[in-house]
Structure 1
Amino acid sequence: MSQKTHSDHDNRKYTPWIVGITIVLNAAIALLFFLPKYDGLDHLDLSFLPMMNAIFNSCTFIFLVTALYFIKKRNITMHRNFILAAFTSTTLFLVTYVIYHLNAESTSYGGEGIMKYVYFFILITHIVLAAPTVFIALWTIVYGWTDQREKHRKIARYTMPIWLYVSLTGVLVYLMISPYY
């Protein structure tokens, strides 16, 4: 569908889905930190999941950088493929993150001095930017998928650096707390 024939009316059909997914996902993740832990997974060793989360975040980062490379080369097909790969690895991250945190407490940072402040800066900016990334990434994908190139370019200018930052800082948070697992 070309940009000229795709109207704002057509975009409205995506709005409830994007808003709903964003709210449900962010609420579920926030609730993980306030609800009691689920005992039904105690018999499973899920200690490998934080490393899987870091691997999925690393993949997302690599896929996004590669997608950026291909769009700079005007290879839309490869760009789209790597964006879909990034979306897939992010989805896998979210699934494993939720499964792990249903059953396990968050690991606190055990470092001291300046590194403690660096860690908390990275963690807080990661959390603050991760929440809206769901919303803007979904809209960016919809605009690209429906060939609304101008809208896609406008929002992607913000989505790409934020999504890159969130995926990279997810890996950094893991690396900074991994000696404490």
Structure 2
Amino acid sequence: MEYTLNKNTAKAKNYKPLVWALTLAINGLIIFAFFLPNKESFKNYSFSYLPLLNAVMNGSTFIFLLLALYAIKQKNIKRHRNFIFAAFVCTSVFLLSYLLYHFTTPSTKFGGQGAIRYVYYLILITHIALAIITVPLALISIGRGLNMEVALHKKITRWTMPIWLYVSLTGVVVYLLISPYYGK
């Protein structure tokens, strides 16, 4: 299939300032949410359903990314783009839900013992570290794709896709491992 530019994408836009502003803002908000001192003012509200929603959004992101990968292997750019947008929407809903939960609710401590504790923390640490870099990678990848900068898009998505898949899948795994300890 031939890659073509239409009149709306003929002029590439510079997404770099937006990508870095969003990256800093999102990661800053996440860090701030964990250290917000007055979470007690929300004790009359129950946000206990949000971790499950977060896991569902992460799982949906994972599925949409796999479908996007399959679509591009079939050279179906339109379907690929639609699945990427669906993954991005799920990730955005996850992010909003995640921030709401952590702005209002004290952190849950993992209660597992023995080998599972080491497995949990290994998955959690790699999940967090890679989630931090997924934000700019995904935004840059999407920007390059929208601009039909195919060579640059392919170059970065070789990194973005597997990392974003890992982060979305391990988000579900982290939820499954810690869910027995919510509310304790």
TM-score range (shorter-chain normalised) is over 0.9
1:7-86 equivalent positions in 2, closer than 5 A: 10-11=12-13, 13-86=14-87
TM-superposed CA distance for 1:39, in Å, is 4.3
Q: Is the 8 A contact 2:39 2:106 kept in 1?
A: no
Q: Is the 8 A contact 1:18 1:138 kept in 2?
A: yes
Distance 1:138 1:177 in 2: 29
1:89-104 equivalent positions in 2, closer than 5 A: 89-104=90-105
TM-superposed CA distance for 1:40, in Å, is 4.5
Q: What is the TM-score when the length of structure 1 is the normalising length?
A: 0.92
Distance 1:113 1:6 in 2: 57
TM-superposed CA distance for 1:15, in Å, is 1.2
TM-superposed CA distance for 1:17, in Å, is 0.7
Identify unmatched segments of 5+ residues in structure 1.
none
RMSD of aligned residue pairs (Cα, Å): 1.7
Distance 2:15 2:81 in 1: 19
**1:100 maps to amino acid:** Y
TM-superposed CA distance for 1:6, in Å, is 6.5
**1:135 match:** 136
Q: Which secondary structure state, in structure 1, belongs to the residue aligned with residue 148 of structure 2?
A: coil
Distance 1:26 1:105 in 2: 18
Q: Deviations over 1:125-164 (max 9, x none)?
A: 0000000100010000000011111110000000000000
**2:122 match:** 121
Q: What is the TM-score when the length of structure 2 is the normalising length?
A: 0.91
Distance 1:58 1:37 in 2: 31
TM-superposed CA distance for 1:107, in Å, is 1.1
**2:152 match:** 151
Moved more, 103-112 or 77-86: 103-112
Q: Is the 8 A contact 1:37 1:104 kept in 2?
A: no
**Aligned residues: percent identity?**
51
What is the aligned residue count? 177
Identify unmatched segments of 5+ residues in structure 2.
none
Distance 1:41 1:177 in 2: 22
Pair 1:51–1:37, CA change in 2 (3 A): farther
Q: Is the 8 A contact 2:42 2:105 kept in 1?
A: no
Distance 2:18 2:164 in 1: 20
Distance 1:37 1:153 in 2: 45
Distance 1:164 1:133 in 2: 10
